[in-house]
Chain A
Amino acid sequence: MVKEIERAGIPVVHICTVVPISLTVGANRIVPAIAIPHPLGNPAVSKEDEKELRREIVLKAIKALETEVDGQTVFDK
């Protein structure tokens, strides 16, 4: 799906847990997530901390969309 969206001319960021799969599939902007059943959450921490965690990941994704890339790039910083 990432490739078809990219092909249509829209920049897309893939937030996913298993980065090697995303690389194989062909996503260009990749942001690693937390865990398979809760990529953007963590039930082990408080609601507030979980929200903060989610904000950080989505913000990273937004930054990735604002960044020029010339090939597959994993935004793990």
Chain B
Amino acid sequence: MIKVVHYINQFYGGIGGEEKADVKPEVREGVVGPGMALKAALGKDAEIVATIICGDSYFNENLEEATAEILQMIKKYEPNLFIAGPAFNAGRYGVACGSICKAVKDNLGIPVVSGMYVENPGVDMFRKDLHIASTANAATGMRQAIPAMSKLGLKLAKGEGIGSPAEEGYIPRGVRKNVFREERGSKRAVNMLVAKLKGEAFVTEYAMPDFDRVAPNKPVLDMKNAKIALVTSGGIVPKHNPDRIESSSASKYGKYDIEGVMDLTEETYETAHGGYDPVYANLDADRVLPVDVLREFEKEGVIGKLHRYFYTTVGNGTSVANAKKFASTFAKELVQDGVQAVILTST
């Protein structure tokens, strides 16, 4: 019998939403939430002996302690397999799943599996360390995610060979494997080229890695006379969210005039973000977008000027393509407006 420990967040654990994202890890015997479907998919050969539940914010704000605590909880059950998630496109959840999987693999030496949407930040952080089943971006993909994760997990636990990412449905780990092919490389390359010229579909045998790094710009030399702009992914908007920026998967950003605004108050600003507990930001949005402090620094001569507009969007399940598009658009305006540096805040 393969003993399995399953990790889920506070939401799937039925403890609560964002208002409970700060709960500490706890362990429950047997299955909880998506563990039911996982149990069914694993079948007779495996048993979920325990489920660990932890709040996403607690985990991410206390990465090391939380990992250590959870590792202790898992150890007690002497599992043969550890499964975390699926986290879909939930960033903090993905980071939690990946961090614990890696810690379990490194410390307990047992196979681990998670499931995430390819844009989850947990993927880039952990794809090389573990098998992450490729899932949809939202929980509507649960029915596909669970069998994919369970199949991978069982294979790993039984020591069976794992096929290619495309065959097995996991996210490529950057591992290259020697295989024999019918046709030699030169012929396959020419076939691909011919297919490309004809406009037909073909699959590359070695996808080029996407190294999208931007070198840091020169520092600001004369801060006392510099114009600084504020940007946030924390969803701070004027009260009642006039442009209706979505609480998740944002399709737009906002640009708001803060000329003469000295302080963001409960009456004037709020957050549109649906991915964290909004209570604190709604009471005082300076906790996310520090307009009050920058006004003080402006007055004290620490900086030259706070730019007249701030730019904001909701960084909650928002696609990388959208975020890129928003920022490349408003960055042009910032350049035109003579902004010399940007402070970007994220929740």
Contact = CB atoms under 8 A, between A and B. Distances in A.
A76 to B, nearest CB: 14
Interface in A25-49: 25-29, 33, 35-41, 43
A20 B286 contact: no
B91 A62 contact: no
Q: Which of A8, A16, A43, A61 has the most C-beta atoms of chain B within 10 angstroms of its own C-beta? A: A8
A59 B288 contact: no
A41 B331 CA distance: 27
A23 B63 CA distance: 15
Nearest to A69: B216
B346 interface: yes
B15 interface: no
Contacts of A74: none
Given A8-B332, A24-B121, A41-B287, A2 B277 contact: no
Contact of A1 (B91, B293, B303, B344): B344
B340 interface: yes
B343 A15 contact: yes
Nearest to B19: A37
B290 interface: yes
B345 interface: yes
Interface string A1-29: 11111111111111111101110111111
B273 to A, nearest CB: 9
Contacts of B297: 55, 58-59, 62
Contact of B125 (A20, A26, A59): A20
B164 to A, nearest CB: 25
B281 A38 contact: yes
B335 A9 contact: yes
A11 B234 CA distance: 20
Interface stretch (B31-39, B78-86, B321-329): B321-329
Contact of A65 (B121, B219, B326): B219
B216 A71 contact: yes
B231 A11 contact: no
A11 to B, nearest CB: 4
B124 interface: yes
B40 interface: no
B334 interface: yes
A76 B276 CA distance: 24
B165 interface: no
Interface of B: 18, 21, 57, 60-61, 63, 91-92, 95, 121, 124-125, 212-221, 223, 228, 231, 233-234, 276-281, 283-284, 286-290, 292-294, 296-297, 302-303, 313, 315, 323-324, 326-328, 331-332, 334-335, 339-347
